[in-house]
Chains A and B, each alone.
Chain A
Amino acid sequence: MAYVGQLQRKFVEYTKSLYREGIVDKQFTQLHNLQDESNPDFAEEVVTLFFTDSQRLLNELTNALEQQDVDFNTVDAYVHQFKGSSSSVGAQRVKDLCISFRTLCEQQNKELCLRCLQQVKLEYASFKSKLESLFQLEKQIVEAGGTIPTID
């Protein structure tokens, strides 16, 4: 039982740090609020879907920006999509970077866009890895027979 308590404390601390650092925002909380007994993994399911979608979008963006003649409308459309989905799951930093990215698309600055894309990739990778750790913690708690604490 002490082990479960330890895990639960770790979970609470980790979750709080994600909010504190702006990795996630209140939309992430909303996803958890939609969970219930019949669908206790809803938040994880949505975020996993987001991961798949994001990979596709990042590939498209890389491809679009590697063109000789970059079509900034296309790039902007993909960034808009990415901004939307990151906003929906509460990936705050990723979303904020997408907002800056769109401004750069408007300016049609290839160099800056490429740099921004790099930043987005890094930020996204960080988000992904942290959320995966969080979900892993949740699994450990459940496997150890505990319940996942709710955070205000």
Chain B
Amino acid sequence: MLFRNKMELKPQVSDTPSQHQQQQKQEQREKHFHVLAVDDSETDRKILEKILSVSSCQVTCVDSGDKALEYLGLVDANHQDSASPSQSERSQEDGLKVNLIMTDYCMPGMTGYDLLKRVKGSSWKEVPVVIMSSENEPSRINKCLEGGAEDFLLKPVQLSDVKKLQPRLLKSFDQSCTNLPDIDPMTTDNSKSNNNATKRKALSPEPSERRPKMKELTVL
């Protein structure tokens, strides 16, 4: 009985600051998880963009590997390699944040694999790259994973595929994101269970991802 009261009391006591912080964190995530989507198919770009924005990501779509490199500052407008590596670093300093690159494998000109290698050999190498392909070829999949791809998705890509990626990607995103202290997982679990009913779930880590952190909150 005493324990139950304590549990009920806690959310109210820590209500304002921790809920506010959680809200802030969620908003930051929603505004700032930026995905660069690369696909030569207009139909696929539109679908991917929708899947990602329904998942509360900010999305930039380009139709080729070359355009992706241009966007990242790795080549100039003439598609020459940037005179110095610092151009891409400058883009990052200027605040250009890309948290995930999702690219089609099969594209005219530069393939998704080529793009992967270019990104991994650049100052953007920490950014996870997910490759998408309609061909379920084990050798292709292995090549991409060995080349540093975060994951390999079979097309047509679906909302559930992106949801499966989220916990893994968000963990590192959250760590790099903000100085806000850890939020009480119990309050977040309550609010999240209400959201589960709607199809459009905001980008938020699964409760299981939060559980390890509970260990830190031993004193109630």
Report which A residues bind B (CB closer than 8 A): 27, 30-31, 33-34, 36, 39, 42, 45-46, 49-50, 53, 77, 80-81, 83-85, 87-89
Contacts and interface: CB of A to CB of B under 8 A. Distances in A.
A48 to B, nearest CB: 10
A83 B134 contact: yes
A88 B54 contact: no
Contact of A88 (B40, B108, B155, B159): B155
A30 B199 CA distance: 12
Given A53-B41, A80-B106, A88 B156 contact: yes
A127 B134 CA distance: 21
B106 A88 contact: no
B43 interface: yes
Q: Report whether over half of chain A's contact residues are helix, strand or loop; otherwise say mixed.
A: helix
Contacts of B14: none
B156 A87 contact: yes
Given A87-B134, A87-B155, 11 more contacts: A27-B156, A30-B158, A34-B159, A42-B50, A46-B47, A49-B42, A49-B46, A53-B41, A80-B106, A85-B41, A85-B44
Given A31-B47, A46-B47, A49-B46, A88 B41 contact: yes
A56 to B, nearest CB: 10
Given A27-B156, A84-B155, A88-B155, A33 B199 contact: yes
A80 B51 CA distance: 23
Contacts of B50: 34, 39, 42
A137 B22 CA distance: 44
Contacts of A33: 159, 199
A83 B51 CA distance: 21
B200 interface: yes
Interface of B: 40-44, 46-47, 50-51, 54, 106, 108, 134, 155-156, 158-159, 199-200
Contacts of A84: 41, 44, 134, 155
B220 to A, nearest CB: 39
Contacts of B51: 34
B200 to A, nearest CB: 6
Contacts of A31: 47
A51 to B, nearest CB: 10
Contacts of A45: 46
A45 B46 CA distance: 9
7 contacts: A30-B158, A49-B42, A49-B43, A53-B41, A53-B42, A81-B40, A87-B155
Nearest to A27: B156
A16 B48 CA distance: 26
Nearest to A36: B200
A53 B155 CA distance: 18
A39 B200 CA distance: 12
A46 B46 contact: yes
A26 to B, nearest CB: 9
Contacts of B54: 34, 36
A84 to B, nearest CB: 5
B6 to A, nearest CB: 40
A87 B47 CA distance: 12
A83 B42 CA distance: 14
